[in-house]
Amino acid sequence: GAWAAAGPLRGHWAGGSRSPHAVSPQVLGWRVAAAITWSVLLLPICTAAFIILSGLDPFHPVRWISNSFNDLYTSYVIFCIFLMSMVIIIISIFNIEFYAVVPSIPCSRLALIGKIIHPQQVIHSFVHAIMGMLVTWCATVMTKGRFQFLAVSCTPSEGLEDAVPQMCLNEYHLFFLLSGAFLGYSYSLFYLINNMNYLPFPIIQQYKYLRFRRSLPLLIKHSCVESLHFVRNFCVTYYFFGYIPKVWICTTMDLHTDGKLHPLDTLSGLLDLSLFYHTWLSGVFLLMTWYIAWLLFKIYATESHHFPIQPTFAQETDQCLPKILNSNPPLLIKFLALQDLMLLSQYSPVRRQEVFSLSQPGGHPHNWTAISRECLSLLSDLTQRLIAQQEAAAAANGRAKPPVGELKVPPQTPGIASMSPLVKPSLMPVKTSPGSDVGSPFSSPALNYKMGVVDIKSPWHGPVQSPHVMRRGPKLWTSVSDQQMNGSHHESFPVLSAARTGTEAVQPRFIYTWLQNKQEQCTQNILVSSQHPEASIQAVFSDAQMHIWALEGLSHLVAASFTEDQFGVVQTTLPAILNTLLTLQEVVDRHFKLPHVSSKPPRISGSLVDTSYKTLRFALRASLKTALYRITTVFGEHLNAVQVSTEHKKRLQQFLEYKE
Amino acid sequence: QLSVLLSLQLTSEDMIAAFSQAVDWAGCTVRAFAWHPHTNKFAVALLDDSIRVYNSNSATVPSLKHRLQRNVAAMAWKPLCASILAVACQSCVLVWHLDPTSLSTRPSSGCAQVLSCPGHSPVTSLAWAPSGERLLSASPVDTAMLVWDVSTETCVQLQWFGGGGVTYLAWSPDGSKVLAATPSAVFRVWEAQMWTCERWPTIRGRCQTGCWSPDGSRLLFTVLGESVIYSLSFSEYRGEMQGQVGGSKTASIVADLSETTFETLYGEERIGGEVHSMVWDPTGERLAVIIRGESPNSQPAVAVFRTRNSPVFELLPCGFVRGERGARPQLISFHPCFPQGALLTVCWSSGKISHIPFFFVGALEPHASPRRSPVPVLGSVREQPLFSEL
C-alpha cells in the first residue's frame, strides 16, 4: 500500500523544476516511501496499546489482559488496521503535499483568517474531519460494548407488552463519530495555525532512530494533552449544538430515540466518566498515529543527503552539488544541498579537496566557482531584502527618509535573478514550480524595488493567499514610489501655499491630490500598525536557514583553504566573500537596531510543535559573526593584503583585534 | 551504581565541590578560571559568586553579577567570538554577552542569557565546540547532556541509559570528539558529528579528569582512587567515518604518580597521589597535573611533563611548580595561544594567580593560525628551578 501511494508522488515531486532533476525523485521518493512504510508498520503497535487501554479493568487484571490479547487477532481488528493504514497513507499524502521548508507567517489577523478559508485549507480540514470520523469508527468497533453500533434495537419507553422492538439511535456512537470529525478538524486547524507543515532542520545531526526516540515522549505527552483539550471543546460544542445532527440522523434513517437513556446533550448525559475516558482515549489514539506519520515524514525529509561533488559518470552531472546549487530544484533539495555543503565543509577533508580541485582538462576551478557564486548570491539577496525592509520600516515610521541613492546595493551577481522565485509562496509548496517564474517581471527583487513594485511573491510580505490580502499587498508595505511621492509632496507644500494666490485653476487639483495623499498615508499607517511587527520580522527571515548554511559552508571552506587549497582558487574570491559578509553584517546590525526589534530570542518551550523559525534571525546574526571570525582568525594579518574598501578594512581590523 | 545513588543524596553544593576541577572548591576564593581562546583575557569566578574579567589591554576589570549566578562550577569563553562567556551555575547556564569596547565595570544583568532546562541543575561542566557553534552543558543529576544553540536558546538532549549524570566534559581541540565522565565507574566518548558514543568502564572509580591531544587522537584521563594517568588512543579522524568513535579497546597506563620522596631545595618532600585535574597545552608539548597528596600531611602539587604525541607517544617528567609558602594549587590552565611556547596559569589557595611561561620551540608547527602578540605577565611569577628528572 505504501508503494502504491508513493508512486505517483515521485513524479509529482520532480515535476517542479524546469530541467529534469533525477535527484529529486530518487532522494525524496525513497524518503516518502520509507516514512509512510514506517508509520504504517507502527500502526498495529498503537492499535494494540489502544485495545489494551480501552478494555481497562483494574479490578480484574488477569481477565483484562487475556481478553485484550484475544481481541487482537479478531478479524474486525485486522480490518480496522487495514482501514486505518489507508487513513495514515492519506494523512501522509497531505503532509507531503503541504510541507514547506520556508514557513508562511501570517503578518496580521486578517491574513490568518484568509489562510483558514483558503480552498486548499478547506479541503485539508474536510478530509481530516472525514479521516477522524473513520478512525473513531474503527475505535468504536475495537472498543466494542455499548458504543459499537449506530442503531440498536430497543423497546418503546411506554412499555406495552405487545410492543414490537424497534430500531433506536445509539447516541454514544453518534457522539463518538462526531468527536472524531471534530478532532480531525481541530487537528487540521492547529496544523495550519502552528505552521506544522514547516520542516525544521535539526541543530545537530543524529540518526533517524535516535531522533524518533527523542521525540516520542514529547509526542505522547502532546497527544494526551491536546486530546484532552479537543474533547473538552467538543463536549461544549455538543452540549449546545448536539441536537442538530441527532435529529437529522433520526429523521433520515428513521430511527427512534431511546427514552431510557439520558440524552447526551445535557449536563448529566455528558458527565459520564466512561464515555469521557473512551472519547479521550480514541482522541489520543487518533492524534498519536497522525503525529507519528507527521514526525516520521519530518525526520526522513530533513535527514542529510550526501551529494557528490564531482560526477563519476557523465550522466550523473545533474546530481552534483555545484550543479544543484546553481539550478532551481524543489526548495527542499536546495536546502539539503546547502546542508550537505555545510557538513562537508566542516567534517570532510576529502570532499573539500574536491571542491578546491581544478577541472581536467582546462584547469578551471568550476566546483569552487559554482559553489561560492551561489552562496554569495544568496547572501547578497538577503542583504538587499533587509535594506528594502529597513527602508520600508523607516518610511512607515515617517522619521528617516533616506534618499534612494544612499542604498549600497552590492554588485549584482548573475545568480540573483533566479533567487526570489525559489521561495515558495506559502501553502502551494509543491504545486508551483519554483523555477517556472524565472523571467517574469516579479523575479528580481532588486529590479522591482527600483521600479517601486512590491514583489508579492517574496516571502517578506508574508502569505498572501486570500484575495483580500492580495489586493492590499502593495499597501501593506510602503513601496519606494509611495515614499517618494510623499516625500516630494512635503517639499512642494510651501509652493502650493505660495501658488494659492496665483493661479486659481490649479488649486483645486493640488488640494485634491494632497487630500488623496493624506488619506493614503492614513490608511497606510493603520494597515502597518495593525500588522504584528514581530510576525513581519519573522517573515523577513523565514528562509534564513539557507543563509546560515551558506555562511557556515563558505566560512569553513575559506578557513580550510588556508592549508588545503593547493592551487589558490579561493584567494581569487576572497575579496568578494569578505565584501559580502561585511556588508551583510552592517545591514544585520542595523536591523537589530530598528524599533520593535527585540535583541533576545523569545523563550521556546520544549513542545512537539517546532517554532524554530521564530528565532532564525538570531541564529543568522550569530553565525554571521562566527563566520567572519573564522576567516579572520585563520588568515590573521594576511587579510591586510586583501583588497577591500577602507570602511571594510576598518571593520576587518576590529575583527582581527576581537573587538566586534 | 552506588556512587550514583550517593550523588543523588548530596546537596547540590556538595555535588559541585565533589565534581569541580578546583581542588578545594568550597573553601578557596577562586572557584573557576577561564582563558579567552584568542586574546589575553581571562575570567575568574570568586567565592562571592561574582566573576571578574581581566584584560591585558585594559585597566577596567568588569565584575559580573547576576541574581541566578550562584555556585559557579565552570566557565568557558565562546571560541571565534569577541566576548561571550558561558557560566555554569547552580540552577542554570548563564551566557554573558560582554561588549569588548565597553568601559563599564558593572555590566547589567540584561547582558546575560539564561539557559535552563528542568531537571538540569546543578550544572558542573561546560564545553564549547571549537567551531563556536554549539555549547554542551552537563549536570551530575541529569542523565542527558544538553547541546545548546545559544543564539536561539534551543537545546537537544543527548540521552543514554544507565551511569547517572555527567560530571565533566572535554571537547577535543579538533572538534571531533567529546569526553563525558559520569559519577559511576564508566565514561563515554561521543563523536561530535552524528552524536553516537562509545563507553569505557573503569576498574576502580569514576573518571576524574581528562584532556585531549591537539589533533584529538589521544585522550589522557585519570580515575578516582588510582594514582596513574591512562592514555586512550583513537583512530585518526578523517570525517568519512560517520557515527564511529574509533577508540582503542583498552587504555594504557602512561605515568605512575604514586608517592615518592624528592630532594628539593627545602629538604626532602613526599609528593605523589591521585590526580585531581590535568591540562595539556595547545601545542601538545607540555602536560600539567595537580596531584593531591596521599597522606594527610603531604601537599597538593603541580607537576609538569614534557610530552610528544607523534610518531610515538612520549611522556617525560619535567618538574614541579611551587607557589608561595603555604599556598596550595587550586586550578590550572594553559593559555590557548602563547606564541613562544606554553603559558601555564595556576590559581593558588591564597587567592593569587600566577602565570608560568615555558619557552620552547615546538617540534611541529602547532597551528596554521597566526598567534597574537606576546603575553605580558599579569600576576606574580615564582618559577622554581625545574628539578627532578625522576
Place of cell 582512587: B225
How many beta-carbon contacts under 8 Å exist across A and B? 99
Greater model confidence, B375 or B121:
B121
| Contact between residue A301 and residue A201 where contact means Cβ atoms under 8 Å apart | no
DSSP state of B289: E
Confidence bin at B362 (pLDDT 50/70/90): confident
Task: Kindly state whether residue B73 falls inside one of the protein's structural domains.
Answer: no
Task: Kindly state whether residue B318 falls inside one of the protein's structural domains.
Answer: yes
Residue B162 pLDDT = 66
Residue A520 pLDDT = 52
Task: Kindly state whether residue B305 falls inside one of the protein's structural domains.
Answer: yes
Task: Kindly state whether residue B373 falls inside one of the protein's structural domains.
Answer: yes
Instruction: Show the DSSP H helices in chain B as ranges.
Output: 2-9, 12-19
Q: Is the pLDDT of residue A536 over 90?
A: no
Q: Is the pLDDT of residue A125 over 90?
A: yes
Task: Kindly state whether residue B93 falls inside one of the protein's structural domains.
Answer: no
Host H or E run for residue B262: strand B260-264
Q: What is the pLDDT of residues A256-266, one digit of tens each?
A: 777 667 777 78
Distance CA B141, CA A341 (A): 38
Distance CA A266, CA A464 (A): 43
Using the Cβ of A306 and the Cβ atoms of chain B, whether some distance falls under 8 Å is answered with no
CA distance, residue A385 to nearest chain B CA (Å): 22
Q: Distances in Å between the alpha carbon of A533 and those of A69, A352, A456, B253, B368? A: 56, 41, 18, 62, 46
Residue A398 pLDDT = 65
Confidence bin at A107 (pLDDT 50/70/90): confident
For residue B195, list chain A residues with Cβ-Cβ distance below 8 A: 204-206, 210
From A253-267, A514-528, B213-227, the region with the lowest mean pLDDT: A514-528
Contact criterion met (CB < 8 Å) for B147 and A346: no
From A386-390, A479-483, A531-535, B21-25, the region with the lowest mean pLDDT: A479-483
Residue A234 pLDDT = 94
Greater model confidence, A64 or A152:
A64
Greater model confidence, A317 or A437:
A317
| A152: helix, strand or coil | strand
Number of domain units in chain B: 1
Greater model confidence, B102 or A25:
B102
Confidence bin at B68 (pLDDT 50/70/90): very high
Determine the length of chain A: 660
Average pLDDT score over residue span B228-257: 81
Q: What is the pLDDT of residues A210-245, one digit of tens each?
A: 999 999 999 999 999 999 999 999 999 999 998 899
Residue B237 pLDDT = 57
Specify the pTM: 0.82
Contact criterion met (CB < 8 Å) for B151 and A621: yes
From A98-107, A132-141, A627-636, the region with the lowest mean pLDDT: A98-107
Determine the length of chain B: 390
Q: Residue-wise over A253-274: b if at least 16 C-beta within 10 A, else e?
A: eebeebeebeebbeeebbeeee
Task: Kindly state whether residue B324 falls inside one of the protein's structural domains.
Answer: yes
CA distance, residue B155 to nearest chain A CA (Å): 8
User: Which of A183-187, A423-427, A466-470, B101-105 holds the top average pLDDT?
Assistant: A183-187
The domain in which residue B268 lies consists of 257-390
Task: Kindly state whether residue B238 falls inside one of the protein's structural domains.
Answer: no
Which of B100, B195, B240 has its CB closest to that of A348?
A: B240
Residue A155 pLDDT = 65
Residue A459 pLDDT = 40
| pLDDT > 90: percent of chain A | 45
| Contact between residue B366 and residue B282 where contact means Cβ atoms under 8 Å apart | yes
Q: Is the pLDDT of residue B363 over 90?
A: no
Place of cell 437513556: A261
Confidence bin at A494 (pLDDT 50/70/90): very low
Q: Is the pLDDT of residue A365 over 60?
A: yes
Q: Is the pLDDT of residue A143 over 90?
A: no
Beta-ladder partners of A148 = none
Which of A207, A615, A659 has its CB closest to that of B152?
A: A615
Mean of all residue pLDDT scores within chain A: 78
Distance CA A227, CA A233 (A): 10
Distance CA A463, CA A352 (A): 39
Task: Kindly state whether residue B144 falls inside one of the protein's structural domains.
Answer: no
Host H or E run for residue B200: strand B197-201
Using the Cβ of A637 and the Cβ atoms of chain B, whether some distance falls under 8 Å is answered with yes
Q: What is the CA radius of gyration of chain B?
A: 20
For residue A603, list chain B residues with Cβ-Cβ distance below 8 A: 153
| pLDDT > 70: percent of chain B | 88
Using the Cβ of A209 and the Cβ atoms of chain B, whether some distance falls under 8 Å is answered with no
Q: Is the pLDDT of residue A317 over 70?
A: yes
Greater model confidence, A152 or A484:
A152
Identify residues of B whose CB sits under 8 angstroms from chain A CBs: 36, 38-39, 80-83, 100-101, 113, 117, 131-134, 147, 149-157, 159, 193-196, 238-240, 243, 368-370
Greater model confidence, B121 or A220:
A220
Average pLDDT score over residue span A150-173: 70
Q: What is the pLDDT of residues B292-315, one digit of tens each?
A: 887 777 778 999 999 998 888 999
